[in-house]
Amino acid sequence: MNSKILKYLSFILIIIISGGILLSTFVFIRFNSIVQNFENGILIYSFFTLYICAVMLPILFRKKLKISRTIPLILIFCILSAALINAGAYNIVKNSVSAYSRQNWDNNANLRIYMIEDLEKQYQFFGKTETEIIDFLGHPSNVSYYSGKRLEYYIGDGYIDPYTYDIIIENDVVSGTAIVQH
């Protein structure tokens, strides 16, 4: 009798862990301020560790409780499905955050750092005038004259200092771009 109760409680625990993984995925998707942490590896490694533990639990409990293979296989299938859903959600969020649009650029200054790669792929700044850049990106956060004229656009906070996307102007045209931590 006790082994049956223990068996069911262990499988309920595994289902709760799988559900917790899915729930945490959707919580991270729901709150945009947390999305910026998707880029660091801690979140990816923590989900990976959770999945390994969740896959190992049915295998360990199967041997310990001497039960058939079907229930652990079903649970492993559910856990792997949750992992695929998590990976898909991660890619959807990352792609929606990293795609450049003027509206996202203006409204989400902390997410600009993820848009830079897409911005540089789609639009060539070299040879454009300062007026064209301001029309395209809006007014810069700062204009610096240190080692030439630079239009500095705030793109996010680092651990201590902020990051800016600097557009270097020489002879009234863009000659280069750089991501600088101040």
- Reported as a single tens digit per residue, the pLDDT across 143-152 is 887 777 888 8
pLDDT at position 41: 56
- Reported as a single tens digit per residue, the pLDDT across 83-131 is 777 777 777 777 777 788 888 888 888 788 888 888 888 888 888 888 8
Task: Sort residue 48 into left (φ over 0), alpha (ψ -120 to 50) or beta.
Answer: alpha
CB atoms within 10 A of CB 77: 11
pLDDT class of 47 with cuts at 50, 70, 90 = low
**Domains of the chain: which residue ranges?**
2-98, 102-181
CB atoms within 10 A of CB 163: 18
Question: What's the Cα-to-Cα distance from 117 to each of 18, 37, 99, 155, rounded to whole Å?
Answer: 34, 17, 9, 12
Separation between Cα atoms, residue 162 and residue 182, nearest integer Å: 6
Q: Which of 22, 9, 14 is nearest to 74 (CA)?
A: 14
What token pair was written down for 45?
């490694």
> Which residues is 177 bridged to in the sheet?
167
Q: In terms of pTM, does the model score above 0.85?
A: no
8 A C-beta contact, residue 171 and residue 153: no
Which of 42-46, 72-76, 139-143 tops mean pLDDT?
139-143
What's the DSSP call for residue 182?
-
pLDDT at position 64: 66
Residue 33 predicted with pLDDT over 80: no
User: For the stretch 16-43, what's the b/e string if a residue is b when 16 or more beta carbons lie within 10 angstroms of its beta carbon?
Assistant: ebbeebbeebeebbeeeeebbebeeeee
Residue 13 predicted with pLDDT over 80: no
pLDDT at position 73: 73
CATH of domain 102-181: 3.30.1450
8 A C-beta contact, residue 139 and residue 158: no
Average pLDDT score, the chain = 76
Q: Find where tokens 């652990």 sit.
A: 72
pLDDT at position 86: 72
